[in-house]
Structure 1
Amino acid sequence: MRAVTQSTVRSFDLAQPASRTFNDTYVGALCVLLGGYAIVGKTFAYIGVPPLYIGEILLVVGLLTFVRSGCWLASVATPASRMLLVLIAWVVLRTVPYIGTYGPDALRDSVIITYGVFCFIVIGLLLEDPGRLDRALASYHAFIRVYALIGGGCAALSLSKMLIPGTSLQVIDLSPGAIATHLAGAAAFAILGLGRFSRFWVAMLLISMVMVTSSRGAMLACIVAIFASAILGGRIRQLLPVLGFAAVALMVASLLDINVHIAPEGRVIGPDQIIEGFKSILGVSDASNYEATKEFRTRWWSTIQDYTFNGPYFWTGKGFGVNIAMEDGYQLWAITEGLRSPHNGSMTILARAGVPGFLLWVALCGTWFTMLIRSMLLAQRRNESRWAKIFIWLACYGAAIIIEASFNVSLEGPMVGIWFWCLFGFGIGASMMFRTGLISEHASGERQREG
């Protein structure tokens, strides 16, 4: 893999400037896309002309940049990328037969995996110009400086369901869980010392987290990202003062009974919510809103497991396009909540792509995390601490998204799905660059200081 990657990327040191300029412009557009999804959400996703919305437009243009990069062979040089290619092929096979029957719904349902094409686009862009890694990290640093301050406000505006005048679109339409994944990534980035942040920023990050962790998945995503980054990065000592401050603030708020009721959701923001969230994760909560959704999910997941692992849909699943909620007997949820798939990305894949698709998905995630951990350990042995922190951050960010997607419909849409697959490609590209010596830590640090 090393020889293939080095020869492929080095051959593009002589690429035409116009090619690099076009691809650099696309990188900027992709960053805008991801920022729009994270801040505005579904409203931003509707930009475009049906069925080609902004995400699909950037996907098509991204394929052109991928071709121009010339890094086709290198992009599939890792086990993770090859496994993803097989999984995409399997999903396409389970989608094509249903396009005639379900039309755009079949394509829409398949994006949970087919958005994985963004992974290869990102790998190609990184390998074509390794300097893009530092520029991407600098852009992300600037993004989370703002996002930590406005994340809670975005959640509040989304819950208010305020409409854009003259339209049926909300000003901001984001699930708290989606916001929580980005706040979790920001927290891991800060804990690992990949950027400098003020105490005010940390306080606002904590407030935003409290405002969005009104669900089991969102809270667990934040907890895992925070503690995993602190433990793997050896930053427990630096985290303790923040945890102490948070604990004191929680106690004071509890004593003063500071709780904000969210009318549309019937939930509460404040210490009661935090306590019930922890109890729910431990399985001892008596709050009806947590237990009702837990019972609904577990019943549906059991139904899916029965007709796949033990039933007639073992090899094929029910395909992409069919409304799983209606087919599985959850018509009430399909009608009242507009659900098409269960509140779990892995269960969605199992139900639609069968056991082969599910096993490919599990193996893909395991391979990706293993690759990042191995790269982290190698970086630590080489005393390249910045590289090690980058790999830990990527693993924690990816874990936060997968955890949240295990409790909500997240990967099935572009707002979280495209973020996830871009992050997936960034992890593969960064690992390849580190292992093949395409960019040294010294050179990376110099670029960061110059920026």
Structure 2
Amino acid sequence: MIQSRLDTALPLGRSADDFNERYSRALVIVLLGYAILGKTFAYLGIPPLFVGEMALAGGLIALLRSGCWLAILATPASRMLIVLMGWILYRTVPYVGPYGMDAPRDSVLALYGLFALIVVALLLEEPGRFWRAIDTYGRFARFYALAGGIVYGLSSALLKIPGTEIQIPSVRAGEAASHLAAIAVFVMLGLGRFSRLWIAVLMASMIIVTSSRGAMLTCLVPVVVAAIAGRRLRQFMPIVLVFFVAAIIATVFDLSIQLPGNERATGPKQLVEGLKSVVGVSEASNFEATKEFRLRWWATIQDYTLRGPFFWTGKGFGVNIALEDGYKQWVTADAVLRSPHNVNMTYLARSGVPGLVLWLGVLATWFAMLFHSLLWARRRGEEHWAKLFIWIGCYALGMFVDGCFDVALEGPMLGIWFWCVFGFGIGASMIYRSPLGRNVR
């Protein structure tokens, strides 16, 4: 049944829809804008319609024009996503009246999942887009490995557009780390050819952005998983050795870089403190203060959901849960805190246990799909496809890790990227399993 739907969704032999082709290129530009400029790019538009909302509207038109409405639902991951978005919409609508645009703005945490369905439809309509996207990413990787650390450094410098409060660029450490980690996986798996000097610059950029616990794990976890899944431990160990030696030298000579506007110094010593903080033995107060605050808030959320009156419903979308949960000291005129710096806790607090279960179910079915495709590719001896599935999975994994430590997937800068990668994974698996699409270039 799934195979027959997929085969009819691959219209090989006819040219792609002109509007959809233009939209595909525009979506690439949108993703590049978010990666390079961050929140600065997100501000483009006329409130309440910013560039993300305009891209979503255009994408829905492209989805309708693609004719792949049924095919995009052919996988358990996409069907689980539809159910999740339905539940989030159910928990959002009642709060639009009391809270206005805050309700839909909070709900994009899941409703940006529409981008996943849009990407799937675009890939199934014209499988050649898959390979063009890989080629485009290779060019992006060459640039961002050199620019990622610089972009983050400029974000810390607090430069603003004259006459406005809009910072340029405005990229969080976790956002840059997500992309740099994916690029490192891309390189380690041999999906592109890069010089040793370029790889050294990539490593330096990764060290620069690891100024927080979350950014450090965002870089580390996907690379380690890729090294294991991609059978690249032998290539990975020299990198570990280089870092270990650099960390010892930095610790002995107290070497670090203090970025403007950033209270934490950056360098190998910072990575060591971050790792110690994860296991609870760091003496750096700037790590432990935020860690203690988050753990207290997460415990509060678990009390009123898992063991309290909001088990089934959560507190809804639109309400400022920082104020509702009694953390008013973290809400100021300059920084309105709305999310508990953990995407899982956000789902739990706003949509209850059903929302959290559906979210985790979406992740589980998607990663299981990629793992199954990976095994299938290896049984067929198609190692290039296997590497692609590992890379796609590690890309999403890095963004998820960042979302467990910061407000990441709740916003368009990384949220749209995450759901596009999610859709890219579904599309890649469906194309690979179809003999009509697998060999299209």
Name the TM-score class by shorter chain. over 0.9
Given that 2:6 and 2:430 are in contact with CA atoms closer than 8 Å, whether structure 1 keeps it comes out as no
Q: Tell me what 1:3 maps to.
A: 3
Residue equivalent to 1:253: 250
The answer as to 2:207 corresponding to 1:202 is no
Partner of residue 174, structure 2: 177
Instruction: Say whether residues 1:363 and 2:367 are aligned partners.
Output: no
Q: What is residue 223 of structure 1 aligned with on the other side?
A: 220
Classify the secondary structure of the residue corresponding to 1:260.
Answer: coil
State the alpha-carbon separation in 1 of the partners of residues 6 and 145 from structure 2: 38
Structure 2 contact 153–259 (Cα < 8 Å) conserved: no
Name the CA distance, whole Å, in 2 between partners of 1:339 and 1:6: 44
Structure 1: stretches of 5+ with no match in the other structure: none
For each residue in 1:183-220, what CA deviation from the matched residue of structure 2 results, as whole angstroms up to 9, or x when unmatched?
11111111111111111111111111111111111111
1:413 aligns with 2:398: no
Structure 2 CA distance, aligned partners of 1:271 and 1:400?
Answer: 20
Which residue of 1 is the match for residue 61 of structure 2? Answer: 64
Distance 1:66 1:361 in 2: 23
CA contact (8 A) 1:345 1:406 kept: yes
Deviation string 1:427-451 (CA, Å, 9 cap, x unpaired) is 01111111222333xx35xx4xxxx
State the partner residue of 1:374. Answer: 372
Secondary structure of 1:214's aligned partner: coil
**1: CA distance between counterparts of 2:260 and 2:62?**
46
Structure 1: distance between partners of 2:360 and 2:271: 31
Residue in structure 2 matched with residue 439 of structure 1 by the alignment: 437
3-state SS, counterpart of residue 338 of structure 2: coil
CA contact (8 A) 1:4 1:74 kept: no
- Superposed, 1:297-308 pairs within 5 Å as 297-308=294-305
What secondary structure sits across from 1:273 in the alignment? helix
Query: Which residue is 1:287 aligned to?
Result: 284
Deviation at 1:263, TM superposition (A): 5.3
Q: Out of 201, 208, 211, which is 1:214 matched to?
A: 211
* Per-residue deviation, 1:166: 2.2
Conserved in 1, the CA contact under 8 Å of 2:246 and 2:268?
Answer: no
Gaps of 5+ in 2: none
Secondary structure of the corresponding residue to residue 72 of structure 1:
coil
Query: Aligned ranges for residues 135-174 of structure 1 at < 5 Å?
Result: 135-174=132-171
**Aligned pairs for 1:306-321 within 5 A:** 306-321=303-318
Aligned equivalents of 1:398 and 1:226: distance in 2?
A: 12
Provide the C-alpha distance between the structure 2 equivalents of 1:409 and 1:347, rounded to a whole number of angstroms.
Answer: 11
SS in 2 for 1:267: coil
Alpha-carbon distance in structure 2 between the residues aligned to 1:245 and 1:438: 45
Contact 2:158 2:261 in 1 (8 A): no
Structure 1 residues 340-369: Cα deviation after superposition (integer angstroms, max 9, x where no partner): 111001110111111111100011111111
- Quick check: 1:217–1:407 contact (8 Å CA) kept in 2? yes
The residue type paired with residue 371 of structure 1 is: M
Cα distance in 2 between the residues matched to 1:402 and 1:212:
17
Task: Supply the distance in 1 between the matched residues of 2:19 and 2:13 (Cα, whole angstroms).
Answer: 15
What RMSD, in angstroms, separates the aligned Cα atoms of the two structures? 1.4
Give the 3-state SS of the residue equivalent to 2:265 in structure 1: strand
Q: Quote the Cα distance in structure 1 between the aligned partners of 2:320 and 2:4.
A: 43
Residues of 2 paired with 1:111 and 1:167: CA distance? Answer: 26
Q: Distance in 2 between matches of 1:215 and 1:199?
A: 27
Shift of 1:5: 2.7
Distance 2:5 2:387 in 1: 23
Report the Cα distance in structure 1 between the residues aligned to 2:105 and 2:317, rounded to whole angstroms: 8
Residue 59 (structure 1) shift: 0.3
Mapping of residues 101-120 of structure 1, within 5 Å: 101-120=98-117
Match of 2:428 in 1: 430
Report the counterpart of residue 267 of structure 2 in structure 1.
270
Provide the TM-score with structure 1 as the length reference.
0.95
Paired residues for 1:321-400 under 5 Å? 321-335=318-332, 337-400=335-398
Output the CA distance in 2 between the equivalents of 1:256 and 1:285.
19
Q: 1:257 to 1:103 in 2, by over 3 A?
A: same
Letter in 1 for 2:4: V
Verify: 1:131 aligned to 2:136, yes or no.
Answer: no
Aligned-residue offset at 1:56 = 0.4
Query: Helix, strand or coil: the match of 2:282?
Result: coil
- Would the alpha carbon gap of residues 262 and 380 (structure 1) be closer, same or farther in structure 2, given more than 3 Å must change? same
Equivalent residues of 1:8, 1:70 under 8 A apart: no
Conservation of the 8 A alpha-carbon contact between 2:243 and 2:268: no
> Which amino acid counterpart does residue 358 of structure 1 have in structure 2?
L
User: Aligned AA for 1:164?
Assistant: I
Runs of 4+ in 1 over 4 A off after TM superposition: none
Q: What SS does the corresponding residue of 2:400 show, helix, strand or coil? A: helix
**CA, structure 1 residues 46+334, in 2 after alignment: closer, same or farther (shift >3 Å)?**
same
Classify the secondary structure of the residue corresponding to 2:331: helix
Moved more, 85-94 or 248-257: 248-257
Q: TM-score, normalised by structure 2?
A: 0.97
Task: Check the 8 A contact 2:247/2:269 in 1, yes or no.
Answer: no
CA contact (8 A) 1:398 1:420 kept: yes
- Residue 92 of structure 2 aligns with an amino acid whose one-letter code is T
